Structure 1
């Protein structure tokens, strides 16, 4: 039942928590007018190998497998962690005993069952910066689209748009863009594992597909650079 309070009864005073006061940080004054960081604007504009987009299909796994972030896979995707108590194997021991053997098994399966369809669409486009916007231009010089990026509120107040020639310079810069995929077959295999209640295999294959896409993006970015 509900307990009714006694009329006139007072609750004990709450104990005041003693919180150590943080040292006050002087607020940086907000600059008046438009802001731009100190990023240089006189670097030579690179000449792209072509303008527009190209499609590359059938990228072999061995070309981008070395770009796989194992820690992101084992810790973030597979949840491979040492016990907090300190008893039992360390994280590195788990990697050697469980992580890498299962990873090798999955990579072999992906290869033998032909589950990967790695492909990239990439290209180079004329552009210029307008404040915090990167404006991508068409062949006729008209605006095609724009990306608005945040600016740091402190420090150097960097913004990605600062790394491209500003519109007022009268010069056109170039931006490289890419989209990557590891294909749909691996997604279908993941869905089949889920439907079969093979949850560990499902989670591992799904996590691996995510990190292989990241590895492909890193690998192609390095090629573009």
Structure 2
């Protein structure tokens, strides 16, 4: 019986310190208090933190960096760590300086995305740092004032979009102007290491910002940078390294780009222009969640939003089965708690192409059924054109102004509501990091599922399009990258604001975050493409 128990419990022959370390790495919360009590008979609370808990989280970080752990497992380890630290705190004398340092975190002004920032907060706070999270859409002056108030050892800034990342150098330059010496860590999908090197140099003097600007590709690199910044010797070496790299980056000649001929695509006219059942906008205030989620793209949910990434073989089969069960459970919870509420506004509008622009005409003469409707421009979308390959532009898929025909364009805005964001925030604040992560991922993908459902089952069917037609292009993606055009979509579909309560930030992102807008193109030849640099030319010019 003893042998059986030893096989069943991997920690049976371990010391309390080894067992506590093992439970953090293997995401087991049960019994950590008793293990800590045992550890405290041999060392004080700070010793347990520094010698047992922090090394365990370091191993978790190392395994994540090596691709041995997926992100949800890291968050579950962080939950065990949080529970252990919360219990240990009662034995700590606050004057011992148990905190390694103080960090102020914020998602920059105009940006509503905070999942990345939340991950950084989780990792730093569970590795001995005091973290003050200012939230999202935080103005530069507030970030700086709070850094002074909390006597921060560093500021961490996150941004998802290129447009909002411009707030980062504003913070750096304002810190310098005020004579403050706070290192700045930057990260997020919008930026890279080159960006971090460039914004090190101040606008006024052209000199490097002395305390340093550090690009961190993920939360664990942020932890590594912080650990070096609080060590005077390591800090000096790190600063010297980033300044050297930044000057090297500054000295690089700009890549020579060949001037390309501006071409036109050869898209033929659509063989048939569909007539919509109505002109203008309609609201869908309710859609059955269980039906909408049938349009969920599970590989994207599991691998991208739920962090399965490159898991393969038997590991993938096990994880896939676990995720299928989780999706079923979370769907039932969302139905019961109403945390995911699919809604939409969509509409049909008369339109014509004018070069690279798509003109939307006033719907009133068309609603009246005028025999020769007066064409009054109300909105103009300017779309970029490829300067290589087929020279495609979204406007090419619509009838030109001189064709004698008025075309039809569909627009849609979908959301799963604010409740998902509120519940994600509640879980995060309660220390349920992995559940917050899973819910955020599901809500984002549920918004995509809603967009697919409205596109395929509402818009395309009402236009009478066959299954292969009616492609959906969302703003922020290659064919229509300008998020500022969300304002124009909202102008045409005002019910999104007045009836569904949707808003736009200063950088034209949707609130709530789990919202997406799109233009639907009926042309049978429509396809997805990029307007970026031709990959072949990138290689030739490298």
1:43 aligns with 2:271: yes
SS at match of 2:324: helix
Indicate the residue corresponding to 1:155 in structure 2: 389
Gaps of 5+ in 2: 1-232, 234-257, 364-373, 461-542
Indicate the residue corresponding to 2:7 in structure 1: none
Gaps of 5+ in 1: 2-26
Q: How does 1:124-203 map onto structure 2 within 5 Å?
A: 124-139=348-363, 141-203=375-437
Q: By how many angstroms is 1:159 displaced?
A: 1.2
State the distance in 2 between where 1:176 and 1:92 align: 40
Indicate the residue corresponding to 1:103 in structure 2: 327
Indicate the residue corresponding to 1:217 in structure 2: 451
TM-score (norm 1): 0.79
Contact 1:55 1:122 in 2 (8 A): yes
Indicate the residue corresponding to 2:49 in structure 1: none
* Number of matched pairs: 193
Cα separation, partners in 2 of 1:168 and 1:209, compared to 1, 3 Å: same
Q: By how many angstroms is 1:42 displaced?
A: 4.9
Indicate the residue corresponding to 1:55 in structure 2: 283
Offset from partner CA, 1:127-158 (integer Å, 9 cap, x none): 10111111111135221112222222222222
Indicate the residue corresponding to 2:318 in structure 1: 93
State the distance in 2 between where 1:172 and 1:99 align: 48
RMSD over aligned Cα, in angstroms?
A: 2.1
State the distance in 2 between where 1:94 and 1:81 align: 11
Cα separation, partners in 2 of 1:42 and 1:76, compared to 1, 3 Å: closer
1:69 pairs, out of 297, 309, 333, with: 297
State the distance in 2 between where 1:116 and 1:144 align: 34
TM-score (norm 2): 0.34
State the distance in 2 between where 1:82 and 1:127 align: 44
2:261 pairs, out of 22, 30, 38, with: 30
SS at match of 2:267: coil
Q: Which runs of 4+ in 1 moved over 6 A?
A: none
Cα separation, partners in 2 of 1:203 and 1:29, compared to 1, 3 Å: closer
Q: Which has the higher helix share?
A: 2
Relative contact order, higher structure (CA 8 A, sep 6+): 1
State the distance in 2 between where 1:29 and 1:82 align: 38
